[in-house]
Structure formats: structure tokens, C-alpha cells
Amino acid sequence: MFWKLSQNEKISKRQIRRLLFWEMSGITTLMLPRLLIDDSGVYGVDGIFAIIIAGVLQILYLKLLAKKSADNRGSYFIEIFYILAFLLFSADILRIAVDMINTTLLQDGSWQLIGIILIILICYGSVGGVEGRARMYEVLHYILLVPLVSMIIFAIRDVDTYMWCPIAVTKPENFICGIIKAFGLIHLSSIASIEEDVRGKYKQVKKAIVCVVIINVIIYLVLIGIFTTELMGIQKYSILILMSMIKIPGGFLKRQDAIMMAVWSFALYALLNAIFSKGREKIQNIFDINKNRSKGLVISVYAVLIYVVMYIDYKYIEVQKLISQKLIPSAIVISVIIIPLYSIWKNRSVQK
């Protein structure tokens, strides 16, 4: 269906908003609670302040980005850095998607096969280009959003608000660590779509980030009120467990968790597609590849590379820690600090 669309690489403002919303909301709602509580040591609802501050920081970062020159390119070093960063991001998110499907939907299934099918689907989505994907997200937006919001509303009945207390008891160093990690995840989830030129779409990106922060805060509050801080720290995917626990009035739907899995599968797929496509585009730009046949080769090689990294990432816990806790945070730091500094330096030298 993607090939039928016109390929002028232009998408509407609404499409940008929806595209970013789904790319960002999947990974953040899935990973943020554990990242804040277990990895950073943030206690209870203090996590929502970390999320809000991280969202504000990301908006400020975008504002700065929107003011500077559109052309970040020019250095092979930066381009290669981005390709490597996108490769790692894609592999790690693919690992999370495979793990999520393997532990919840297909427990006896082969994770290798799930990975292969996902990577084939990602290649397929990538061929369609951003325009094809944006139309898909536009159409599916309410189909996914309505069940998600409904389930959160049903879950609110079971929230014990006493569990939100006490507030502001997290150690300052843990809180700062939480903000950095939350910012890292929000930044990572939006990096593929906003990495270059933000000037024309700043307002839409800002709206999408605000929506993502709001939905994350609500989900975080619901999760704390139901599971408590202690349990959220050890549960891998608290939001998915919550979806399987909610009792729908009337009891007409028994396995709503399987339906809700589609929301996160789709959201992760959206993010994967964006990062994969961006990485592929950068390879094509570096090697100046324009022929369709060569493009196919680039996609195939890049997909195989991602699958191999994902395979190692999934199988060896040391590699998983290295990628998730060392390489990706370093890449975010480079992306946020070093590249804008380089860009400013480059602009000044051009002006001189």
C-alpha cells in the first residue's frame, strides 16, 4: 500500500504531530517507570516531576535547535556518529519489542523469528517513506488512542491515592539522575524525526511532546497508585501488566491485554521505522546512492546489521547493559551537547 502513495516527502502538520506522538509514547510509557524507579532511585510520585522537567528540557532544546542553521551536515564524523547511534537505537528498541511480544503474547514462540518478522516489516515500512508512514499513523491515531484512554479511565477506579505519598522524598542526586534518564529517553524517542530541521515544525513537535509528557504523567500516577513504588521497580513492563488486570464493566472482553498489546507493538514499530529510515537515509547521503537497486541493497544490509546487533543484545546480558546503560546515554550526550556546539562553531567560522 505504501508504494501507491505519492512520494514527495511532505507531510501535514497534523501528521507530524501524530507521527511523533506515537513514536514517543510507546517507548516512554513502557520504559520510563522502571527507568526512574529502579535505575535512578526516584521514589514514588517524584517521578512525575522528573518527567515534566525532562519534557521542558526537550522543548527548550528544540527551541535552541529551531533557531540555529538548518544544515547540520558537512562533517562525515557527525554523519557516521548518527548512523552508528541509529543502529544501536534500532537494535535496542527491536530487542525491547521482541522481548515484549515474546514474554506476553508468544511465550513459546521463537524470539529469533519474531525479530526477523519485525525487521522485514520495518524494511517494508521504510521503503514507503515518511509520507506513507505518516498517513498510516493519521488513520490509526484514534483507533489506538480511544482504547488506550478508555483503559486508563477504567484503571483509575483501582488507584489508591495514598500510594502517591509522601512527595519530595527522593535524594537530590537520584532525582537529577532521573531527570537525565527521562530526558534521554524522550530525546531518543524523538531524535529520528527532529534530528535535522525543526524550524518549520517546532510548534507541532512541541505539541506532540506536551501530549507525550501528559500521557506519561497520567500513566505513571495510575501505575504508582495500583502497584506501589516497590513493585514498579521490579516489574519489567508495568503498563502491560496493568492492561491485563483491568476489569472492563460488563466483562464482555476477556483478553483486552492482547488488544492493548497492539497499541505498544504499533508504537514501537513506529519508532523503529523512524530510526531505521533515518539511518538508511544517512547511509544513502554519505555514499550518494540514488539508484533504486542500490537503495534496496542498503536497506537489506542495514536491516541485517540491526538484526545481528539485536541478536547479540538479546542473548548476552553484558552487551545489553553496555548498549542500554553506556552507549546509548553517551550517544544522547553527544547529540545534545557536542553536535550543537560543533554546529555553532561551524556557523561562526562561515560568518567570519
Partner 1 sequence: MKKIIVLVVVIILFNVAGCSQKKMENSTYPMAIGIDKGKDDLDITFGFPILEEKADNGTDNKAVRTKSIIGAKDIYDAIRNYERNTDKSIDCGHVKVLVIGKDMMEEVKNDLWEDILKSGILARNVLIFEADNAKDIIECETDTSVGEYLEGVIESDVYAANTCVTLGNMFEQQHGGRKNVMIPYLKLNDKIPYICSYSVLRNMRTVDIIDSKEQLMALLLDGRLKKYSFYTADDTLVRLSDIKVKRNIQNKSGKAFEKFDISATAQIFSELYFNKAASELKKINERTQVQLRDELNEELDREEDVGVDLTGSFSKVGAFDRELWKKYINAQEKYEKDKRSICSVKLYLNE
The residue among 55 and 233 lying less far from partner 1, judged by its C-beta, is 233
Supply the minimum distance, in Å, between the C-beta of residue 330 and partner 1.
31
The residue among 1 and 290 lying less far from partner 1, judged by its C-beta, is 1
Burial 132-148 (b: 16+ CB within 10 A, else e): bbbbbbbebbeebbebb
Supply the minimum distance, in Å, between the C-beta of residue 96 and partner 1.
17
The residue among 244 and 285 lying less far from partner 1, judged by its C-beta, is 244
Q: Is residue 296 a contact point for partner 1 (CB under 8 A)?
A: no
Exactly one of 6, 8, 107, 292 binds partner 1 (CB under 8 A); that residue is 107
Exactly one of 159, 218, 241, 298 binds partner 1 (CB under 8 A); that residue is 241
Q: Cα 17 from chain centroid?
A: 14
Q: Check: CB of residue 24 under 8 Å from CB of residue 187.
A: no
Size of the site for partner 1 (CB under 8 A): 28
Q: Check: CB of residue 273 under 8 Å from CB of residue 27.
A: no
- What residue spans of the chain are helical by DSSP H? 13-34, 46-67, 76-104, 111-156, 172-194, 202-234, 238-245, 256-287, 292-315, 317-321, 328-333, 339-351
**Terminal-to-terminal C-alpha distance of the chain:** 50
Q: Check: CB of residue 178 under 8 Å from CB of residue 36.
A: yes
The position carrying cell 529510515 is 277
Interface mask toward partner 1 for 142-181; x: CB under 8 A: ------------------xxxxxxx--x------------
Interface mask toward partner 1 for 39-68; x: CB under 8 A: -----x------------------------
Of 144, 182, 171, nearest in space to 48 by CA: 182
Supply the minimum distance, in Å, between the C-beta of residue 241 and partner 1.
7
Exactly one of 22, 82, 111, 227 binds partner 1 (CB under 8 A); that residue is 227
Alpha carbon distance 205, 17 (integer Å): 6
Supply the minimum distance, in Å, between the C-beta of residue 117 and partner 1.
7
Residue range at the interface with partner 1 (CB under 8 A); choices 26-34, 48-56, 106-114, 339-347 = 106-114
Residues at the contact surface with partner 1, assessed by CB under 8 A: 3, 44, 103-104, 106-109, 113, 117, 120, 124, 160-166, 169, 227-228, 230-231, 234, 241, 244-245
